[in-house]
Amino acid sequence: MAAPAETLIGMSGGVDSSVCALLLVQAGESVAGLFMQNWSDDGSGECRAEDDRRDALAICGRLGIPFHARDFSKAYWDGVFEHFLAEYRAGRTPNPDVLCNREIKFKTFLDEARALGATRIATGHYARIDRRGGLWRLLRGADPGKDQSYFLHQLGQEQLAATRFPIGHLPKAEVRRMAREAGLPTAAKKDSTGICFIGERDFRSFLAQYLPARRGEIRSVDGQALGEHEGVFYYTLGQREGLALGGVKGRPQAPWYVVDKDVAGNILYVDQGSESRFLMSSRLVAIEASWTAGQAPADVFECTAKTRYRQADEPCRVEMDGDGRLAVRFERPQRAVTPGQSVVFYAGVECLGGAVIESTDAPVDELERGSG
Ligand SMILES: Nc1ncnc2c1ncn2[C@@H]1O[C@H](COP(=O)(O)OP(=O)(O)OP(=O)(O)O)[C@@H](O)[C@H]1O
């Protein structure tokens, strides 16, 4: 029997993992590919997954490397999706990509790689890993428009030591060019979008299958009933679309934004102005901190942070409170910092780790609570 491959590549059927495989094969490394299926239903997601599996198989065939396929949908359901729903039920907005990386791509997949005799995994993420002073470091991807370190911040030393990101130093355009030049059938394939492994679909109707709609009142911050929402879960802080408020008598003609969700009272609070003071916060408290180095840089430190993926870094000061909780204070007020999302810390190009946002100092306590 042939010796097992040293590196198992996560083959999604997309262009990024195709080029990963290409680069490792060109470098003469011992590699195999694995396609994981993490979601099964009878909807549109199924055909897409089947197409992706076929593309992943075709690339492995083309490059002459072994191909494996595994169904991890139970691990995905238990480790990612249940948590995702619980967070929505609690009125928070979770980040499934962060969880999926921690639970599936860098746990279940890594375990499977080891079971197949590999010592490492490789994926087509736009991030880099290096080693300094005996520690593995997670670095931003070189293409600033594609950097995925935000979603990878929960990787620790064990995962970083066992992972490679072969395209993290390349711009996306270069990855596509390489794929075209090598004649890979995935060269022009569209980037995947939507929730990790569930794919792109009408988010509200998807969520409604699991969290039944419970209509309730949309209320202005000064207490006026303005309309009806379809269920507080379906909205996120700072959101403007989908409120169907139009012009409200006696109010300026300006768009309304979600500024708070009162889950117990089933009320959605809105305000006018994208920078409403109810959306702005300079401080947040975060829980479940994890650090790429295995521990925080210090009990108190200054760095930059992002509270959402598509955001520029903002200077802040981080303080541990000994309980695994962090108090983060930004130099400038931040807009729509959202409980359930991750705050991710950076020192220059290095991603230090992150935590889950629990609360902020946006003045939503001033809003009248209750169902009446
Ligand atoms: N179904 C899957 N099976 C195996 N590996 C996967 C799968 N989905 C994603 N991955 C791995 O995770 C990496 C990042 O996934 P992401 O969803 O961000 O895809 P992407 O940037 O569109 O990459 P690609 O172009 O390879 O699909 C992929 O490049 C691949 O290595």
The last residue of one of the domains, among 242, 258, 274, is: 274
Ligand 1 centroid to residue 191 C-alpha, Å: 10
CATH of the domain at 230: 2.30.30.280
Record the tokens describing residue 221, joined without a space.
């911050």
Q: 3 pLDDT band (50/70/90 cuts)? A: confident
Report the alpha-carbon distance of residue 80 to residue 92 in Å, rounded. Answer: 15
Q: Give me the pLDDT at residue 251, please.
A: 87
Q: Give me the pLDDT at residue 24, please.
A: 98
Q: Give me the pLDDT at residue 208, please.
A: 85
Record the tokens describing residue 105, joined without a space.
């791509």
Q: 345-358: per-residue pLDDT in tens?
A: 999 999 999 999 99
CATH of the domain at 144: 3.40.50.620
Please pick, among 20, 47, 60, 196, the residue that the annotation labels catalytic: 196
| Closest atom, ligand 1, to C-alpha of 18 | 26
196 catalytically annotated: yes
User: Are residues 78 and 221 located together in one domain of the fold?
Assistant: no
Average pLDDT over residues 14-42: 93
Q: State the ipTM, two decimals.
A: 0.97
User: Are residues 176 and 29 located together in one domain of the fold?
Assistant: yes
User: Are residues 234 and 173 located together in one domain of the fold?
Assistant: no
Cβ partners under 8 Å of residue 285, min gap 6: 325, 326, 327, 328, 357, 358, 359, 360
When mean pLDDT is compared across 28-32, 162-166, 171-175, 241-245, the lowest value belongs to 241-245
Residue 73 lies in a domain: yes
Domain count, the chain: 3
20 catalytically annotated: no
Average pLDDT over residues 248-271: 91
Q: 155-178: per-residue pLDDT in tens?
A: 999 999 999 999 999 999 999 999
Ligand 1 centroid to residue 123 C-alpha, Å: 7
**Nearest C-alpha neighbor of 166 from the set 156, 176, 175:** 175
The last residue of one of the domains, among 131, 163, 181, is: 181
Report the alpha-carbon distance of residue 11 to residue 242 in Å, rounded. Answer: 36
The reply to whether 17 sits in an annotated binding site is yes
Residue with tokens 């670095």: 139
The reply to whether 13 sits in an annotated binding site is yes
User: Are residues 133 and 12 located together in one domain of the fold?
Assistant: yes
Q: Give me the pLDDT at residue 202, please.
A: 72
User: Are residues 244 and 313 located together in one domain of the fold?
Assistant: no
Residue 168 contacts residue 127 (beta carbons within 8 Å): yes
Which segment, 2-11, 24-33, 92-101, 260-269, is predicted with the most confidence on average?
24-33
CATH of the domain at 291: 2.40.30.10
User: Are residues 269 and 346 located together in one domain of the fold?
Assistant: no
Q: Give me the pLDDT at residue 105, please.
A: 97
User: Are residues 21 and 62 located together in one domain of the fold?
Assistant: yes
Q: Give me the pLDDT at residue 372, please.
A: 43
Residue 147 contacts residue 349 (beta carbons within 8 Å): no
Q: Give me the pLDDT at residue 365, please.
A: 81
User: Are residues 250 and 361 located together in one domain of the fold?
Assistant: no
Residue 199 lies in a domain: no
Q: Give me the pLDDT at residue 91, please.
A: 82
User: Are residues 157 and 300 located together in one domain of the fold?
Assistant: no
The last residue of one of the domains, among 250, 274, 298, is: 274
pLDDT at 324 over 80: no
pLDDT at 36 over 80: yes
Domain span holding position 358: 279-365
Q: 22 pLDDT band (50/70/90 cuts)? A: very high
User: Are residues 293 and 173 located together in one domain of the fold?
Assistant: no
User: Are residues 143 and 12 located together in one domain of the fold?
Assistant: yes
The reply to whether 250 sits in an annotated binding site is no
C-alpha distances out from residue 51 to 35, 186, 200, Å: 11, 11, 15
Q: Give me the pLDDT at residue 218, please.
A: 96
Report the alpha-carbon distance of residue 86 to residue 68 in Å, rounded. Answer: 32
Percent of the chain whose pLDDT exceeds 90? 75
pLDDT at 197 over 70: no
Is the alpha carbon torsion for 274, 361, 267, 336 positive or negative? positive
Residue 68 contacts residue 32 (beta carbons within 8 Å): yes
Q: 371 pLDDT band (50/70/90 cuts)? A: very low
Report the alpha-carbon distance of residue 372 to residue 370 in Å, rounded. Answer: 6
The reply to whether 10 sits in an annotated binding site is yes
Our mutation pick for probing the ligand 1 site, out of 12, 19, 46, counting the most ligand atoms within 8 A of Cβ, is 12
Q: 90 pLDDT band (50/70/90 cuts)? A: confident
| Closest atom, ligand 1, to C-alpha of 33 | 4
Q: Identify the residues whose C-beta falls under 6 Å from ligand 1.
A: 10-12, 14-17, 34-36, 105, 123-125, 191-192
User: Are residues 268 and 283 located together in one domain of the fold?
Assistant: no
pLDDT at 339 over 90: yes
Specify the DSSP class assigned to residue 278.
Answer: G
